[in-house]
């Protein structure tokens, strides 16, 4: 067998250990207090933090249809550079992923490239038109684990009820983009003082919260596994907390940008900060942080959304919503939770790897760092200062909202089933 030694690493930021990886089988062969010296390749981890490979439940890789902004290949590169070994790419492509053969093509292309497991998300409705359900059963049999009309909400309550029932029958996750379109219209900013000051049409919290409440009740009555995309308000946190207290099978994600950024960023009218749902106020960000800490919100998901400059360097209300996230998410979570002492690396592993893998029932992702487990791993230097620059991203696009911000945690290596998919020298 071909072997790789990862010596002098700190799993979960704890005691120093050494790993011997069987690259042939893609598993961790042995964990020891003693360094391995006879492996085919030996890497000195220099005391850096080792985590299970990250899992992102929510990305947009734009292929098919907008390969000018991202492809499965460039998105996989960005994922590997960010420490991810699995991502779920949303269905709002052109054509929409609403047929089994399209989902199978996305999966096959990701596997062929080999940098990251790229799971296709099937659309809930045909063409994302909100009128007729897709063949959820056929797509589930083709391996689709999650369905979403992300970018749009399934506003029709009768259609959403049927979707919940079908999803339950096929034991797949239904992920909702919670937005009552009748309340948002042409809104581009959070409804608050900042939007009023800037003359931007406001997007009220109730547009999200009303859908969350409706869907939680439907899930209570009709069952199934319901997942909320990009929770963004204090009220949504309260609704999720109530739903979970009632035993409703609801999970939720929060994005790094909704944790770190607020609507004060809109003062310059920079289209980089246009996102859906919009950046909210400080009290919303604080509520989301606490909800992630106490488990009311389950995971961090990036909502990685590449756009070209022609879609961002325009008037704010005309800018396309979305931000890059794959290459900065770990650094953002580290800054908010680990640097401040709010949480440790075990928490990071939970919300960025273990819990998303559990929700999506991935057998070989988000696993413990132990002998016999899959060698899906990320090595992080927690004391390596770097500055986010869009032009230096592995993504095909450059629309990062963190331009010029300095972070202190950097991914230095990523392995997918023992195969090296990224090392720090790749970006030098």
Tokens of 228: 């909320």
- Is 304 annotated in a binding site? The answer is no
Q: Which DSSP state fits 336?
A: I
Let me know: does 410 contact 384? Beta carbons within 8 Å: yes
pLDDT at residue 1 in the model? 83
**Rounded-to-integer distance, Cα 168 and Cα 133, Å:** 14
SS3 content of the chain, % helix, strand, coil (to 5): 35, 25, 40
| C-alpha distance from residue 99 to each of 19, 236, 281, 360 (Å) | 42, 32, 39, 20
Q: What is the pLDDT of residues 25-42, one digit of tens each?
A: 999 999 999 999 999 999
Q: Provide the CATH number for the domain formed by 3-50+372-427 in this structure.
A: 2.30.40.10
pLDDT at residue 428 in the model? 57
Q: What is the pLDDT of residues 37-85, one digit of tens each?
A: 999 999 999 999 999 999 999 999 999 999 999 999 999 999 999 999 9
- Is 62 annotated in a binding site? The answer is yes
Topology classification of domain 52-359: TIM Barrel (3.20.20)
Identical fold between 3-50+372-427 and 52-359? no
Q: What is the pLDDT of residues 269-280, one digit of tens each?
A: 999 999 999 999
Q: What is the pLDDT of residues 304-333, one digit of tens each?
A: 999 999 999 999 999 999 999 999 999 999
Whether 303 sits among the annotated catalytic residues: the reply is yes
Tokens of 185: 């219209």
Active-site annotation holder among 263, 303, 311, 364: 303
Residue spans per domain, the chain: 3-50+372-427, 52-359
pTM (2 decimals)?
0.97
**Rounded-to-integer distance, Cα 143 and Cα 111, Å:** 14
pLDDT of 227 strictly over 60: yes
- Is 344 annotated in a binding site? The answer is no
User: How confident is the prediction for the chain on average, in pLDDT?
Assistant: 97
- Is 40 annotated in a binding site? The answer is no
């Amino acid at each position: 067998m071909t072997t790789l030694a990862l010596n002098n690493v700190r799993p979960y930021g704890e005691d120093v250990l050494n790993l011997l990886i069987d690259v042939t089988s893609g598993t961790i062969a042995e964990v020891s207090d003693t360094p391995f010296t006879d492996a085919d390749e030996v890497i000195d981890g220099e005391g850096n933090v080792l985590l299970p490979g990250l899992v992102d439940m929510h990305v947009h890789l734009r292929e098919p249809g907008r390969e000018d902004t991202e492809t499965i290949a460039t998105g996989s590169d960005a994922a590997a550079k960010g420490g991810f070994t699995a991502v779920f790419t949303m269905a709002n492509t052109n054509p929409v992923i609403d047929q089994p053969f399209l989902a199978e093509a996305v999966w096959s292309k990701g596997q062929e490239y080999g940098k990251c497991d790229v799971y296709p998300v099937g659309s809930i409705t045909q063409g994302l038109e909100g009128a007729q359900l897709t063949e959820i059963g056929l797509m589930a049999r083709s391996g689709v684990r999650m369905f979403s009309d992300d970018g749009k909400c399934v506003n029709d309550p009768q259609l959403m009820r049927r979707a919940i029932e079908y999803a339950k029958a096929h034991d797949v996750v239904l992920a909702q983009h919670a937005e009552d379109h009748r309340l948002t219209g042409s809104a581009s900013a959070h409804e608050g003082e900042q939007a009023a000051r800037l003359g931007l049409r406001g997007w009220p919290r109730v547009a999200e919260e009303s859908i969350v409440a409706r869907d939680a009740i439907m899930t209570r009555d009709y069952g199934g596994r319901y997942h909320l995309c990009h929770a963004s308000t204090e009220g949504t946190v309260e609704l999720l907390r109530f739903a979970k207290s009632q035993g409703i099978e609801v999970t939720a994600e929060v994005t790094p940008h909704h944790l770190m950024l607020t609507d004060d960023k809109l003062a310059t009218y920079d289209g980089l900060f246009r996102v859906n749902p919009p950046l909210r106020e400080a009290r919303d960000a604080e509520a989301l942080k606490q909800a992630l800490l106490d488990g009311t919100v389950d995971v961090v998901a990036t909502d990685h959304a590449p756009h070209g400059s022609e879609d961002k360097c325009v008037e704010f209300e005309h800018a396309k919503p979305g931000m890059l996230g794959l290459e900065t998410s770990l650094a953002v979570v580290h800054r908010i939770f680990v640097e401040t002492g709010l949480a440790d690396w075990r928490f990071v592993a939970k919300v960025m790897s273990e819990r998303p893998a559990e929700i999506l029932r991935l057998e070989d992702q988000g696993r413990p760092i132990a002998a016999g487990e899959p060698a899906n791993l990320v090595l992080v230097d927690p004391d390596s200062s770097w500055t986010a620059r869009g032009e230096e991203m592995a993504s095909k696009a450059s629309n990062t909202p963190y331009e010029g911000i300095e972070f202190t945690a950097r991914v230095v290596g990523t392995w997918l089933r023992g195969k090296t998919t990224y090392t720090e020298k790749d970006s030098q």
